[in-house]
């Protein structure tokens, strides 16, 4: 599937979804739309992903250049930025589907809904959960696959990235592994999944369980994309529901080097790593026993390579299990601990 | 407000909401509708609540006998039982409001919506959350009130009842206490509140916080109605969101005597009481430190009074804090520990 990724004025540093799709998605990316960087190429900004031209807007592409437009950024609050309307309109007029992970649903936008109907296009709001989700039955532990869940010390420390890197590397090493996507970027990358943070609260665990039951007998390993943190003042409910709904066997603790307080909630300090391990394992145990078997440290704020390696070693030593930075270093030791 | 409570074929043992409203609600209950017990009185079945006649249906009441009909039962799945339609229709034709806590929203029923509009009645689906809820800001700990949260070892062990009994007894002892209702029965009793299990998962903590911020500077004590259990395979997300959203100072651990497995999920054993205390306190601490200061043991399955007292004493001794059965015995020692 050929796509264009909309990332106006935010590529690459504030375009987490765009980068995730470029890095892990099974799409042929024909262009990135960013009016602030038009004329550059993706490769001028990011080294380790597929290259593509950056253009001003949909109108700069050949009429049949892409099959879909994917919204690869989200403003604070998740609204639709009216400066994107021309691009979405052009895409629909050309018969392209539009994929978005906003809180604002494109299919509820009158103009877009009409254009999509007229031109036979699909509007896929990945953050709009399926209507048939329900409460967990408590069955996830019965699937054949080993279930591995990424858990974190905060939001945005690399759970999605770690999940995707581990799945890719496990597959390359010959294992039958699949990702269970739980958030908008993961869902866009994989092309399916339930947006756990948007389901009815009572169905949080059930919406994860449904995916585990669907895929759990088809693969040897499922890597579940975790969300939030178990001590996050706002998002811990989602984290807890994913932990009990997926009933993992193994946990990978994701953290960002140097992080001391919760992002956006700076009056809340992170507890010790030991406390995180105790909380995640202690909370899992009565439902399904799980151990933290590996760590993933995000060292993006550490410029020096040697300092980054030392930070990973310190993290590894504090956790007592193999750790790595999945982007900066290899995942061999971590994968060995997870897959053994 | 004069109400009739619909509880067909389930009063009193399978009519938890009807009983809760009879016991704690500030309503004048003119009748209970139960076609299987018509002719009896409430007092023939339950001793400690306001008495009222039990009748076949709305048609047996004088046309102006009540201001509202309250649906006091819920079938498995939360649907609307068509055998209730005549009663709801009659109520609306007489100008009565209808209050329901079903998953099926009365306001989305075409006939009921039309009748309500024609007759100027309100349809209040208490399980339909307000549209303006959002994520938690992490501010609940800043209110003036001491916040007390009931937490449990499972669903249906008495968290709502404990909350309401403690609020009533605290008020009678001269304290300025209020309940924060989080479930349909609590909301019906109090006449306001957010149905936490029905909000968007990401807003779980925020929907509790919103209530704490609204009431937290108006009272000296807030008693928050807890939900589920932190190790429930299906509902722990809601429990966790309430714990972090309300940021309690004190916890009351609710349990049912003799309970060993999770209701409806019998392959899951309850962990030890000590483990529950560790999990609730450990999970609260990084967000806002809270201690289990009292226990509430539901001894409904223990017939013998002396055995019930012994069960409470054993519970108290295992927890190391004062405990009681809030229905069977007094709450003096427990309240002293909570309010000191």
pLDDT in tens, A2-31: 999 999 999 999 998 999 999 999 999 999
The reply to whether B89 and B151 lie within a common domain is no
Distance CA A24, CA A78 (A): 23
Q: What is the CATH number of the domain that holds B42?
A: 3.40.50.720
The reply to whether B301 and B216 lie within a common domain is yes
Residue B135 lies in a domain: no
Q: What's the mean per-residue pLDDT of chain A?
A: 97
The reply to whether A12 and A103 lie within a common domain is yes
Does pLDDT of B208 surpass 80? Answer: yes
Residue B191 lies in a domain: yes
The reply to whether B86 and B159 lie within a common domain is no
Distance CA B321, CA A332 (A): 50
The reply to whether B48 and B176 lie within a common domain is no
Residue B261 lies in a domain: yes
The reply to whether B108 and B229 lie within a common domain is no
The reply to whether A110 and A163 lie within a common domain is no
Residue with tokens 């062990």: B157
- Whether A282 and B279 have beta carbons less than 8 Å apart is answered as yes
Domain count, chain B: 2
Does pLDDT of A54 surpass 90? Answer: yes
* pLDDT score, position A96: 98
Count other C-beta atoms under 10 Å from residue A183's C-beta: 27
User: Which one, of A186, A139, A145, lies nearest residue A339 by Cα?
Assistant: A145
Distance CA A296, CA A148 (A): 13
A240 to chain B, any CB pair closer than 8 A? The answer is yes
Q: What is the CATH number of the domain that holds B167?
A: 3.40.50.300
Residue A133 lies in a domain: no
* pLDDT score, position A75: 82
Does pLDDT of A167 surpass 90? Answer: yes
**Chain B residues lying within 8 Å of A290, measured CB to CB:** none
Could you say which DSSP state residue B4 is in?
A: E
pLDDT tier at B76 (50, 70, 90 boundaries)?
Answer: confident
**Chain A residues lying within 8 Å of B202, measured CB to CB:** 197-198, 234-235, 237-238
Residue A135 lies in a domain: no
Compare CB distances from A205 to B206, B236, B244 and report the shortest one's residue: B236
The reply to whether B168 and B292 lie within a common domain is yes
**Domain hosting residue A232, numbered range:** 140-339
pLDDT tier at A77 (50, 70, 90 boundaries)?
Answer: confident
Residue A132 lies in a domain: no
Distance CA A112, CA A99 (A): 12
Residue at which a domain ends, from B76, B95, B125: B125
Residue A79 lies in a domain: yes
Residue A56 lies in a domain: yes
The reply to whether B146 and B274 lie within a common domain is yes
Does pLDDT of B245 surpass 90? Answer: yes
* pLDDT score, position B266: 97
The reply to whether B155 and B298 lie within a common domain is yes
A266-283 mean pLDDT:
98
- pLDDT-above-70 percentage for chain A: 100
* pLDDT score, position A57: 98
B136-165 mean pLDDT:
97
Residue at which a domain ends, from A102, A125, A148: A125
Chain B residue whose CA is closest to A153 = B286
**Chain B residues lying within 8 Å of A282, measured CB to CB:** 275, 278-279, 282
pTM, rounded to two decimals: 0.95
The reply to whether A204 and A312 lie within a common domain is yes
Residue at which a domain ends, from B64, B96, B125: B125
The reply to whether A163 and A46 lie within a common domain is no
Count other C-beta atoms under 10 Å from residue B302's C-beta: 20
Q: Which residues pair with B28 in a beta bridge?
A: B2
């Amino acid at each position: 599937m050929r796509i264009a990724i909309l990332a106006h004025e935010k590529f690459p540093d504030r375009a987490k979804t765009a980068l995730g799709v470029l890095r892990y998605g099974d799409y042929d990316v024909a262009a990135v739309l960013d009016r602030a960087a038009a004329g550059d190429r993706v490769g001028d900004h990011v080294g380790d992903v597929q290259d593509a031209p950056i253009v001003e807007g949909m109108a700069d592409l050949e009429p049949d250049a892409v099959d879909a437009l994917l919204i690869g950024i989200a403003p604070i609050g998740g609204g639709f930025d009216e400066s994107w309307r021309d691009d979405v309109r052009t895409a629909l007029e050309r018969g392209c589907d539009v994929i978005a992970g906003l809180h604002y649903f494109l299919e509820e936008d009158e103009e877009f809904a009409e254009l999509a109907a007229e031109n036979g296009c699909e509007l896929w709001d990945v953050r709009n959960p399926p209507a048939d989700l329900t409460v967990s039955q408590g069955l996830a532990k019965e699937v054949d696959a080993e279930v591995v869940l990424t858990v974190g010390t905060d939001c945005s420390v690399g759970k999605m990235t770690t999940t995707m890197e581990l799945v890719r590397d496990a597959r390359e090493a010959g294992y039958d592994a699949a990702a269970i996507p739980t958030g908008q970027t993961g869902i866009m990358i994989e092309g399916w999944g339930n947006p756990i943070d948007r389901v009815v609260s009572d169905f949080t665990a059930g919406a994860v369980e449904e995916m585990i039951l669907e895929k759990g007998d088809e693969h040897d390993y499922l890597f579940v994309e975790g969300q939030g943190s178990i001590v996050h003042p706002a998002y811990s409910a989602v984290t807890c529901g994913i932990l009990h709904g997926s009933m993992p066997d193994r946990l990978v603790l994701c953290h960002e080097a140097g992080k001391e307080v919760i992002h956006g909630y700076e009056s809340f300090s992170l507890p010790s790593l030991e406390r995180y391990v105790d909380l995640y394992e202690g909370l899992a145990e009565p439902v399904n026993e799980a151990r933290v078997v590996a760590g993933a440290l995000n060292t993006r704020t550490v410029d020096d390579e040697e300092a980054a390696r030392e930070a990973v070693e310190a993290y590894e030593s504090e956790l007592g299990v193999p750790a790595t930075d999945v982007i900066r270093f290899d995942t061999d030791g971590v994968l060995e601990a997870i897959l053994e």
